[in-house]
Structure 1
Amino acid sequence: MIESLHLRNFKSFADATLTVGGLTVVVGVNASGKSNLRDAFRFLHGIGRGYTLPEIIGGKYGEGGYLEWGPLRGTTSEIVRFGQSNFALEIVGRLAGGRQFRYKIIVPREDVGGRFYVGAESLQLEIGEEAQAVFHTLNAPFGRDVGLWFRGDPMVVIGTTDDHGYLNRAILRSDRPILTQLTAWHDVPQYLRNTIEQVAATLAAIRFLDLSPEAMRRPSFPGQTVLGESGENLATVLQALCLDPERKHALIAWICELTPLEIADFEFESDATGRIILFLKDAEGGRISAFSASDGTLRFLAMAAALLSDSGRSLFFFEEIDTGLHPSRMRVLIDLIERRVAESTLQVVTTTHSPDLLTLVGDKTFESTSVVYRPPGAGGSVIRRVGELPRIAELRKTQTLGRLHSSGWFEDALYFDDPAEAAE
């Protein structure tokens, strides 16, 4: 599980930390920097998938020429905050056994040519009450040998000579994060390889859903049980979930709360090409196909299917999770997510402009709700936990978070020298 994400000179962020909980809600006005958080998580996800830095930032194409991984938003010159020479991302989390890890990467950009490369990289693991290095790079100017230390045994691994006096060496690439290069290097001790592989798996397990009604309505090829980023394969993912009576019952109960229809069952039929079409069957025997279902209903089904079908350590990132849902039905979605993250290792990070969503969140979600703000003259975006704002516990009870959000109180509270004045 991921506990925090620190950003330095990444896009609009000069020096900011996002606290990550079970359900993490991020609010802020337009152009405050919320979408840049998605890009930061995508960068880390690209590391977990083993991509090079050019592929993570500029896009990855498969051997057949198809786009396997979309580029980060913006131009390459906008990845590093204006006027800076590098950016850094640091993630803190816990492995399956409960031990805390801290992974950090610093990525400079060449002045001439604009190439990105690994400037420094490290992984620390909690051992007892202390944090010990699993590996970290040694300081070396770009273009020369870069060293790396393992906990217990020092090894220089990037094209070094014997001048340093170390016995073990290998050729590693400066354009690919060291973390995933080490997972394939046979000289890494097994007790360290396990930790490195777990951290890489944590990053690889991040998911991004940007749901499209057109993609969700499309019939699915039989046997496809992974929901696509745009909602592809919704019919067959739901079909697989319905094989489990408990999960099927939960889906029907939630969809009945969301809509005025009395949904009694899901049905799946093959079209002329053999692909599966989703039908919602009501209590009187009537049926509604995915082609006729509302956008909001399909979005809710896709989010529920993703949260119920994924296992292991996963983090879902949604932008504007409330899109297409009626305010009076927001409670159903928040209840689904908060229950699911409480009973599993799943995590959800979402941005929102919805005051209704903020009003409905529980106490645990409140603790991991943050506001992103760009103060005048600050030179970058700021992240502040809402729970740290003065008098917020009292104001939450008397005025609700939704009302404070819609009135602009969060931004006022961050602007004034005495934020409490903003509530007067």
Structure 2
Amino acid sequence: MIKEIRFRDWKSFEDSILYLDPLTVLVGTNASGKSNVVDGLLFLHRMILAGNLQEALEGNESVLSGIRGGMQWAARQPGNTFLLEVLVEMDEERDLEYSITISTEQGQAALVYEKLVEVSDQEESEQSKRVVVYEAIPVPVEGKIGVVFEASESIVLFDNNRCILSQAFTSVQKTQKGGRFNTLGELFKNLFVLDPIPSHMRNHKNSKITRNLNPDASNVAGVLASLPEKTKQTVEQTLSKYLSHLPEQSIKRVFSNVIPPLNKEAQLLCEEVLAVGQKPLLVDADGMSDGTLRFLGILTALLTRPEGSLIVIEKVDNGLHPSRAGLLLQMLREIGKQRRIDVLVTTHNPALLDALGPKMIPFVMVAHRDTSTGWSVLTLLEDLEDLPKLLAMGTIGKLMSMGEIEKSLKEGKDRP
């Protein structure tokens, strides 16, 4: 699992670290840098899947859309290089430290530096605790970068328009070898940025039967229909369990049906009871509210993404009534723990922040702007010097609504 990510010269960040836990909440005002954090995670995912670094940033003409701002705004202006460092827990005794530096000079994305280190917690010598798995070095060959692998003095040439991890991960998959490449490559590959769009979820043509959920959750019905029957029943029962507490009317069942005669698409359905004693009413996605559909999209991602994944959800409570914030958090915690899925969410909603409670304070990060430089900074809420005083004034949601947290960060920066 990913433990932390460092952003250096990435978009609006000069140098800041995001700490990740089973459930991490990222808050901050508009233009504070929250979406730039999400874009950084999205880039880590796409650099494994895309044909090259350029496509990972800019997208392509077929299926891949570009990251916001594309290559032009990837590096902190007026510079043209950025660095991302990731600390990953491999097992109880070992971590992986991964670092990649990319140049966007002259409109071309190129690999400048990359390194993977295995760090052991065992009582060994300092040298044996840190094993360099591979390290990229510059070579005087156009379009290439040299790589030195563990226990080897020879230099292997790789293309500098793709990350080494992507090229090595592909090779490892072909030879069916596991190890560190596979661990890190699978982790980035399974990183999932989710933004359910209800209007897309209502279009049956979007819900072709497939195992992979789309980032906009448009194919929820198709994903549910693709599950083995026993798994499908279990997942739909869980969907129904949580959805039954969402609307005022009672949802008795949520399920998907394959649409004949071609059986290539599926339809999302639910049974609602509008009043006591009435027969259930069958409702399709067209009759479901935006909040219900977004909730369904998040639930489906939690229940169908591979175990060990990191799911990132921007504006997680968008369209959800404030009184259901507790239900949303309960769902994220319970299913995340059951399926070993970490979740990072962003929110502006005071009700959701209030529902967190004091025990979640260590897992709240605040994105804000450094008043002296203007660049984005990430700060743990528990690191605020004035936190005890602030909490005496009210809940986290109230403090955010009043702007007291941002005020404290600014005053803390101005202190000598």
TM class by shorter-chain length?
0.7 to 0.9
Taking structure 1 as the reference length, what is the TM-score of the superposition?
0.86
- Deviation by residue 1:109-145 (Cα, 9 ceiling, x = unmatched): 33xx321211100001123442221111235578497
> Are 1:232 and 2:237 an aligned pair?
no
Which of 265, 273, 276 aligns to 2:266? It is 276
- 2:276 is matched with none
- 1:167 is matched with none
Cα distance in structure 2, aligned partners of 1:93 and 1:268? 37
Structure 1 residues 359 and 131, CA gap change in structure 2 (3 angstroms): farther
Which of 47, 71, 74 aligns to 1:79? It is 74
- CA offset at residue 217 of structure 1? 1.6
> Are 1:178 and 2:173 an aligned pair?
no
Segment of structure 1 superposing worse, 320-329 or 235-244: 235-244
- CA offset at residue 96 of structure 1? 5.4
SS at match of 1:118: strand
Which of 243, 263, 267 aligns to 2:251? It is 263
- 2:180 is matched with 195
For 2:210, give the aligned amino acid.
Q
Cα distance in structure 1, aligned partners of 2:208 and 2:70? 39
- CA offset at residue 269 of structure 1? 4.1
Q: Could you list the runs of 5+ residues in structure 2 that have no partner in the other structure? A: 123-128, 274-278
Structure 1 residues 308 and 268, CA gap change in structure 2 (3 angstroms): closer
Structure 1 residues 141 and 12, CA gap change in structure 2 (3 angstroms): farther
- Deviation by residue 1:159-194 (Cα, 9 ceiling, x = unmatched): xxxxxxxxxxxxx211111112123458x9998x62
For 1:366, give the aligned amino acid.
I
Preserved contact between residue 143 and residue 161 of structure 2 (Cα < 8 Å): no
Which of 324, 327, 333 aligns to 2:328? It is 333
Cα distance in structure 2, aligned partners of 1:260 and 1:241? 32
- CA RMSD, 1 decimal: 2.7
Structure 1 residues 265 and 122, CA gap change in structure 2 (3 angstroms): same
Structure 1 residues 98 and 337, CA gap change in structure 2 (3 angstroms): farther
Segment of structure 1 superposing worse, 32-41 or 273-282: 273-282
- 1:107 is matched with 102
Cα distance in structure 2, aligned partners of 1:69 and 1:279? 30
Cα distance in structure 2, aligned partners of 1:263 and 1:324? 18
- Deviation by residue 1:368-388 (Cα, 9 ceiling, x = unmatched): 211111122324111101111
- 2:150 is matched with 151
Query: What are the equivalent positions in structure 2 for 1:3-82 lying under 5 Å apart?
Result: 3-61=3-61, 66=62, 68-82=63-77
Cα distance in structure 1, aligned partners of 2:352 and 2:403? 16
SS at match of 2:297: helix
Structure 1 residues 89 and 248, CA gap change in structure 2 (3 angstroms): same
Cα distance in structure 2, aligned partners of 1:343 and 1:84? 43
Which of 118, 121, 140 aligns to 1:125? It is 118
- Deviation by residue 1:200-246 (Cα, 9 ceiling, x = unmatched): 11111111112111221222656423321111221233444884454
Cα distance in structure 2, aligned partners of 1:266 and 1:75? 39
Cα distance in structure 2, aligned partners of 1:241 and 1:380? 49
Preserved contact between residue 241 and residue 309 of structure 1 (Cα < 8 Å): no
- CA offset at residue 13 of structure 1? 0.3
Segment of structure 1 superposing worse, 397-406 or 322-331: 397-406
Cα distance in structure 2, aligned partners of 1:29 and 1:213? 25
SS at match of 1:257: coil
Cα distance in structure 2, aligned partners of 1:311 and 1:145? 34
Structure 1 residues 396 and 22, CA gap change in structure 2 (3 angstroms): farther
SS at match of 2:167: helix
For 1:300, give the aligned amino acid.
F
Cα distance in structure 2, aligned partners of 1:258 and 1:241? 27
Preserved contact between residue 33 and residue 367 of structure 2 (Cα < 8 Å): yes
Segment of structure 1 superposing worse, 2-11 or 233-242: 233-242
SS at match of 2:345: strand
Preserved contact between residue 315 and residue 346 of structure 2 (Cα < 8 Å): yes
- CA offset at residue 362 of structure 1? 5.2
Which of 237, 241, 247 aligns to 1:249? It is 237
Which of 326, 334, 342 aligns to 2:337? It is 342
Preserved contact between residue 117 and residue 176 of structure 1 (Cα < 8 Å): yes
Preserved contact between residue 194 and residue 215 of structure 2 (Cα < 8 Å): yes
- CA offset at residue 34 of structure 1? 1.0
Q: Identity percentage over the alignment?
A: 28
Cα distance in structure 2, aligned partners of 1:93 and 1:2? 4
- Deviation by residue 1:292-334 (Cα, 9 ceiling, x = unmatched): 1101011111111110122222111111111000000111111
- Deviation by residue 1:19-38 (Cα, 9 ceiling, x = unmatched): 11111111111111111111
- 2:201 is matched with 216
Cα distance in structure 2, aligned partners of 1:116 and 1:418? 35
- CA offset at residue 397 of structure 1? 6.8
Taking structure 2 as the reference length, what is the TM-score of the superposition?
0.87
SS at match of 1:9: strand
Segment of structure 1 superposing worse, 223-232 or 36-45: 223-232
> Are 1:352 and 2:347 an aligned pair?
yes
Structure 1 residues 83 and 241, CA gap change in structure 2 (3 angstroms): same
Segment of structure 1 superposing worse, 243-252 or 308-317: 243-252
Structure 1 residues 53 and 408, CA gap change in structure 2 (3 angstroms): same
Structure 1 residues 189 and 127, CA gap change in structure 2 (3 angstroms): farther
Cα distance in structure 2, aligned partners of 1:241 and 1:355? 40
Aligned residues: 398
Preserved contact between residue 386 and residue 408 of structure 2 (Cα < 8 Å): no
- Deviation by residue 1:39-76 (Cα, 9 ceiling, x = unmatched): 10111111222531111111134xxxx2x221111153
Structure 1 residues 222 and 10, CA gap change in structure 2 (3 angstroms): closer
> Are 1:407 and 2:402 an aligned pair?
yes
- 2:126 is matched with none
